[in-house]
C-alpha cells in the first residue's frame, strides 16, 4: 500500500470513530433517488438507485433508458446507511457520486469509475501531434487551415463578458445534459484573472472561443463555446498552435464522464488526448445481478474504472468472438492500461483481472463479484492489454 492510500485509509478510519459522530451526518450525507424505466437495447425493465445530485441523476437517466426514466426522489441519507436502502429497494444497479475520502467506503462493494481528466501532450513536433489524431479530426484540421479563420488571445474584461453572455450561455443552453452543469460568471471571471481568452473570428465576427488559465505551467481549458462544430474545432486547433508558440508542453481539457461512448469522451479521444485518473471526482457503481437489463447497460455504456494503481476499461460484447485488434483500434487511448471484455461463451471460466498484483486490494472484490455474476449467465472475461 502506498503512502497516499495509507493516508486515505487512516482518514476514513478517523471519520468512523465516535469523536466524529456529531459531524458525520453533515460531511457524508447525500440525496438519493430510484430510477426505473426501459433499456434502450431490449426494452427490459431496469432500476438504478442513484446517490447523487440532480445533474448526475438526469445524466444517468439519459444514459441508461430509452425514454425518460421515472424518478422517485427518496430524500437524504448518510453513506453508512446505503446498504440498508439497497436491501430494501433491491435495484439492478447502485450508483453513487463520491470523493477521494469516501471511495474507501465503497471500494469493497463497488467498482470505482473516476471522471477522467483529458490532457494533450504538445511537447512533440506538430507533425507528431497531428499524426496522433483520428482520421476525421485530421481531415477537419486540413479544412480549418483552408478557411478564413483568424484568432486573438485577449485579457480584456469586455471581451470576457461578450464571450460569456453572447457565446457561452447560448451554447450551454443547447447542450445535452452533462454531469458538470454550467459555470457561473463569478467563476469565469476568477478563471480569466489567472489566464485569458482565445477568440476565433470568421469574416470579422467572433464564432468561437476558449477560456483558459495556467496551473504550474499547464494550460487548462475551462470553457469552450461555439455555434458550429467546425468553429469549436478551430478554437482547439488555434489554442494548440498558440500554446506551442508559448513553449507550453501540456494542455488540460478538463474532466470527462467515464463512459467510453459519451460524446465528449469520444471527441477528446479523437484529438489524441490521454485519460488520467481524477481522485477528486468519482462514481461508485455496483451491479446487483447480471440479468438482461444489466447486460444492456454494460453493452451500451462501456466505462473506465480504477484499481487505484491505473485505469482500465470494461465492455460487454454479445458475441462469442473477441477480436483483440479491432477492440484495440476502437477503445485504445493513452492512459488506459487494459480492457476487460465480457463476452458470451457457454461454459467459460474467468481470466486474470486487469487489476493490481496485490490480490488483497479491496478494488478486486467488486470486479470479482461481477465476474461471478457474469459466469452464471455464460459470460466469460478476456483481458486486452493496451500497455504493451
Sequential pLDDT tens for the chain (388 residues): 556 556 555 655 555 555 554 454 445 567 889 999 999 999 999 999 998 888 899 999 999 999 888 999 887 766 667 777 788 889 999 998 887 766 666 777 889 999 999 999 999 999 999 999 999 999 999 999 999 999 999 999 999 999 999 999 999 888 765 655 678 999 999 999 999 999 999 999 999 999 999 998 899 999 999 988 899 999 999 999 999 999 999 999 999 999 999 999 999 999 999 999 887 888 999 999 999 999 999 999 999 998 878 899 999 988 777 777 788 888 889 999 999 999 887 655 555 444 444 434 445 688 888 989 998 888 888 888 877 6
Residue 61 and residue 109 share a domain: yes
In eight-state DSSP terms, residue 91 is -
Global confidence as pTM: 0.85
> Measured between alpha carbons, how far is 79 from 81 in angstroms, rounded to an integer?
5
Same domain, 161 and 287: no
| Phi and psi, residue 385, nearest 5° | -90, 120
Residue-number span of the structural domain to which 361 is assigned: 305-388
pLDDT of residue 85: 79
At 336-370, the pLDDT tens digits run: 999 999 988 765 555 544 444 443 444 568 888 89
Domain harbouring 270, CATH code = 3.40.630.30
Q: Identify whether residues 155 and 145 lie together within a single domain.
A: yes
Residues 6+ apart with CB under 8 A from 175: none
Residue 114 CA to chain centroid, in angstroms?
A: 6
What are the pLDDT digits (tens) for 118-174? 999 999 999 999 999 999 999 999 999 999 999 999 999 999 999 999 999 999 888
Contacts of 295 (CB under 8 A, 6+ apart): 316, 318, 377, 379
Sign of CA dihedral 131, 133, 135, 140: negative
| Nearest alpha-carbon partner for 229 in 272, 179, 267, 176 | 267
Query: How is residue 176 annotated by DSSP?
Result: P
Distance CA(226)–CA(43), nearest Å, equals: 36
Interatomic CA distance for residues 250 and 243, integer angstroms: 8
**CA angle in degrees (0–180, nearest 5) for 154-204-120:** 50
Q: Are residues 222 and 241 in the same domain?
A: yes
Same domain membership, residue 217 and residue 260:
yes
Helical spans, DSSP H, in 2-78: 3-15, 21-28, 54-64
Task: Say if residue 152 is in the same domain as residue 260.
Answer: yes
Beta bridge partners, 383, equal: 340
Q: Is 373 exposed, middle or buried (0-12, 13-18, 19+ CB in 10 A)?
A: middle
The answer to whether residues 90 and 142 belong to one domain is no
pLDDT of the residue at 102: 66
Same domain, 1 and 46: yes
pLDDT at position 7 is 59
> Is 305:122 a contact under the CB 8 Å cutoff?
no
Closest CA to 117 of 293, 334, 324: 334
All three cell numbers of 234: 478551430
* Dist. CA 335–CA 18, nearest whole Å: 40
128 and 230 share a domain?
yes
- Tell me: do 173 and 217 sit in the same domain: yes
Q: For the beta carbon of residue 60, count every other beta carbon within 10 angstroms.
A: 27
Q: What pLDDT shows up at residue 75? A: 74
Same domain, 98 and 176: no
Place of cell 481549458: 221
How many other CB atoms are found less than 10 A from the CB of residue 168? 22
Q: What is the pLDDT of residue 353?
A: 45
| 210 and 247 inside one domain | yes
Provide the domain count of the chain. Answer: 3
Amino acid at each position: 500500500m502506498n503512502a497516499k492510500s495509507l493516508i486515505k485509509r487512516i482518514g476514513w478510519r478517523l471519520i468512523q470513530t465516535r469523536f466524529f459522530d456529531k459531524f458525520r451526518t453533515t460531511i457524508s450525507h447525500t440525496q438519493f433517488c430510484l430510477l426505473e424505466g426501459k433499456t434502450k437495447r431490449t426494452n427490459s425493465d431496469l432500476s438504478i438507485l442513484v446517490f447523487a445530485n440532480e445533474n448526475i441523476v438526469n445524466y444517468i437517466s439519459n444514459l441508461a433508458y430509452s425514454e425518460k426514466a421515472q424518478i422517485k426522489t427518496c430524500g437524504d441519507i448518510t453513506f453508512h446507511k446505503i446498504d440498508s436502502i439497497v436491501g430494501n429497494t433491491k435495484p439492478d444497479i447502485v450508483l453513487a457520486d463520491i470523493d477521494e475520502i469516501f471511495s474507501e467506503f465503497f471500494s469493497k462493494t463497488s467498482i470505482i469509475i473516476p471522471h477522467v481528466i483529458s490532457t494533450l501532450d504538445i511537447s512533440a513536433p506538430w507533425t507528431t501531434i497531428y499524426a496522433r489524431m483520428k482520421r476525421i479530426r485530421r481531415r477537419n484540421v486540413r479544412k480549418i487551415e483552408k478557411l478564413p479563420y483568424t484568432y486573438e488571445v485577449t485579457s480584456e474584461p469586455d471581451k470576457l463578458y461578450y464571450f460569456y453572455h453572447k457565446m457561452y450561455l447560448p451554447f450551454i443552453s443547447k447542450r445535452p445534459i452533462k454531469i458538470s452543469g454550467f459555470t457561473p460568471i463569478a467563476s469565469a471571471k476568477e478563471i480569466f484573472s489567472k489566464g485569458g481568452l482565445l477568440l476565433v473570428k470568421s469574416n470579422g465576427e467572433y464564432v468561437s472561443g476558449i477560456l483558459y488559465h495556467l496551473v504550474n505551467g499547464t494550460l487548462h481549458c475551462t470553457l469552450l463555446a461555439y455555434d458550429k462544430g467546425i468553429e469549436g474545432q478551430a478554437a482547439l486547433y488555434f489554442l494548440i498552435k498558440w500554446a506551442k508558440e508559448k513553449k507550453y508542453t501540456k494542455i488540460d481539457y478538463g474532466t470527462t464522464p467515464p463512459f467510453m461512448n459519451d460524446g465528449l469522451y469520444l471527441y477528446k479521444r479523437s484529438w489524441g488526448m490521454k485519460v488520467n485518473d481524477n481522485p477528486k471526482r468519482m462514481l461508485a457503481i455496483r451491479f446487483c445481478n447480471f440479468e438482461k437489463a444489466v447486460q444492456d447497460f454494460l453493452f451500451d455504456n462501456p466505462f473506465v474504472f480504477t484499481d487505484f494503481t491505473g485505469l482500465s476499461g470494461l465492455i460487454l460484447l454479445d458475441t462469442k468472438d473477441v477480436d483483440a485488434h479491432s477492440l484495440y483500434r476502437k477503445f485504445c487511448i493513452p492512459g488506459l492500461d487494459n480492457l476487460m471484455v465480457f463476452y458470451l461463451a457457454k461454459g467459460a471460466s474467468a481470466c486474470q483481472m486487469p487489476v493490481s498484483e496485490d490480490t488483497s486490494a479491496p478494488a478486486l472484490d467488486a470486479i470479482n463479484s461481477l465476474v461471478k455474476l457474469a459466469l452464471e449467465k455464460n459470460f466469460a472475461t478476456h483481458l486486452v492489454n493496451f500497455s504493451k
